[in-house]
Every structure is written in C-alpha cells, then in structure tokens.
Structure 1
C-alpha cells in the first residue's frame, strides 16, 4: 500500500492527501465528485445528531434529502425537509443540518463556489 500511495503522490493526485469517506461525531460524508468550482457529497447524519452551525464565505450549497427527515437552520428560519425535498443555502448565510428522526438522514450536497475547502 505504501508503494501505491507513493505512486499516487508522484502523480500529484489529490487522492494522496484527501480521503473520500470522512467520519465525524455526527456521522460521515463521502466526497463523490469534485471539480474546479464544485463538489458533490453524500452526507449521512445519525439519528438525533447535528452538524455545527456554519457559514461559508466562498461557496453556496444545495441539499437534497434522499432518506429520512432533515431539520434545517438557514439564517433565522428553521424548517423540515422530507425525502425528495431540497433547499438552497446561499453564500454567507448561517446554516445547520440536524437529524430529528429515528433513522439515518442521508442527503446529497452540491457545493459551488470559488473555494471548497473544509476551512471555509
């Protein structure tokens, strides 16, 4: 495996440093696709868990619920989304994703913007 990783690093591929599936206390995300100005993630949130309140300066996000129920905080508003429903999180707006249900929440997140790093 070390030789394989070394070969990937020699090719300057982002996979050498970036893992597709990342575990967090609230669940995990899997980075499905990435381009210069977009990224697509499959996000899974455990029942009763929530992500931190966030705001991004360089990207907007679109969320589509594919399983479960999401409690979304967007600015001063809070609302529920069910399967096959979606929302848009504009750049610069505080937001949070929560799973108030008893089954895993799964969403597809599409990020678009000039900078897509986790530190935005």
Structure 2
C-alpha cells in the first residue's frame, strides 16, 4: 500500500494486492496484473479522460499550479512560482482572473503597467487583458487564482512572449 493522499488509506484481509493512492487517483490491482497500468492509461486516453495526462498538480518550468476547485464558469488554482520564475506574457478570450498573493511578492504586468503585489493583496485581470506573472523575490511566490468566465480550459491561453519557448 502506497499513499500520498491527504486521507488515511488502509486495507484489511487482502493478499497479493497493490494499492496506490495519490491526490489524483486510487489504483487497486492484483500484483499479477499490476503491469497493465500502461494499458489502463491508454484506455483512459482513448476515451478522452483528462485524468490520463492532467494531474491535480501540474509542473511547469516556472513552478507549478494545482486545481483546488472547478465548476460551471469558474476554476480556482493554487500557484507557486519559483524565485526568478516568470510566466508567459498572455491573454485569455473567455475568462477573467483574480490573483491573491498569500506568500512572497508578485511582479504583475497588466497591459502597460508593472505592479508589485504583496502578501494579502490582490489584482484583477479582465478578460482580454495582456498580463504576466513573475517572482522577483528570493522565496517561492504563492497565490490563489480565481478564474471566472464562459470557459476556463488551459487552451484559452494566447501566449505572446515566453522565455521557455512554449
């Protein structure tokens, strides 16, 4: 039994079983069939299950983001940007974003303005606004992002400039 989840994972009365619990999913398989995980992922991809490739925490060259909640017309993410990390200069056609800094200092490009946003401060990014997030500090930047709009998918990112070549 391997568990990375926040809750307790236990089993009783099982033999020759593999149990893996992560924040994304739980796998229970007989040891004899545990080698078929790759096949299972292939089936999930073929059926267009986002869980096959999209994990709760998604790592990027600048740090990571983790979905906290999602619903119709909104999504909430926790974002961590490493010191010196910088997201792409971008805009969105279908969503606005609200960023609340919970740790560190954010350097936010919003249109032609450059704004420093400190802990317990927030910035609003309207739909269509050109923006970028960077961490000019020496500690990891953490913020909560609330997206609101008709569509919050990752393919609603129009990158204009990206130091990581994406």
Q: Could you say what secondary structure the match of 2:96 adopts?
A: strand
Deviation at 1:77, TM superposition (A): 0.6
Counterpart CA distance in 2 for 1:98 and 1:3 is 39
Aligned pair count reads 119
Counterpart CA distance in 2 for 1:3 and 1:84 is 46
| Corresponding residue for residue 87 of structure 1 | 123
Q: Could you say what secondary structure the match of 1:118 adopts?
A: coil
Counterpart CA distance in 2 for 1:92 and 1:14 is 26
| Corresponding residue for residue 62 of structure 1 | 98
Counterpart CA distance in 2 for 1:66 and 1:23 is 19
Q: Return 5+ residue gaps in structure 1 as ranges.
A: none
| Corresponding residue for residue 100 of structure 1 | 136
Q: TM-score, normalised on structure 2?
A: 0.65
| Corresponding residue for residue 47 of structure 1 | 83
| Higher RCO (C-alpha 8 Å, min separation 6) | 1
Q: Calculate the aligned-residue CA RMSD, in Å.
A: 2.0
Given the alignment, which residue of 51, 58, 61 partners 1:25? Answer: 61
Structure whose CA Rg is larger: 2
Runs of 4+ in 1 over 4 A off after TM superposition: 1-6
Q: TM-score, normalised on structure 1?
A: 0.88
Counterpart CA distance in 1 for 2:114 and 2:148 is 23
